[in-house]
């Protein structure tokens, strides 16, 4: 029983850590996008790709966070 609880705790910790890392990357991308948006000679394709990556990170954060919510049927 204790091994099972340890595995759950480890999985929970990994998910919390993953969310933290994803949020950091999301914030960093936001800063880069803001800085690039101020440049008159910005590569629009690069900016579009960064924005798409930022949206993918946001979706990934939402998925991992939903895994952190306990299942009420359990």
- Please report whether residue 72 resides in a domain: no
CA 74 to the chain's CA centroid: 26
Q: How many domains does the chain have?
A: 1
Report the pLDDT value the prediction gives residue 8, as an integer from 0 to 100: 74
pTM for the structure as a whole: 0.80
Give CA separation, 26 vs 3, 6, 33, 59, in Å: 34, 30, 10, 11
Note whether residue 73 is domain-resident: no
- Phi, psi torsion values for 72, nearest 5 degrees: -70, -20
Q: What is the pLDDT of residue 60?
A: 97
Tell whether 71 is covered by a domain. no
Residues 6+ apart with CB under 8 A from 60: 22
The answer to whether residue 55 sits within a structural domain is yes
pLDDT digits (tens, 9 = 90+) for 19-59: 999 999 999 999 999 999 999 999 999 999 999 999 999 99
Any domain includes 57: yes
pLDDT at 74 over 60: no
Q: Whole domain around residue 17: which residue ranges?
A: 2-66
């Amino acid at each position: 029983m204790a091994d099972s609880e340890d595995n759950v705790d480890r999985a929970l910790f990994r998910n919390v850590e993953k969310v933290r890392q994803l949020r950091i990357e999301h914030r960093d991308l936001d800063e880069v996008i803001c800085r690039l948006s101020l440049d008159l000679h910005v590569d629009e394709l690069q900016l579009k790709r960064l924005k798409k990556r930022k949206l993918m990170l946001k979706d990934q954060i939402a998925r991992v966070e939903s895994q952190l919510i306990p299942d009420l049927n359990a």
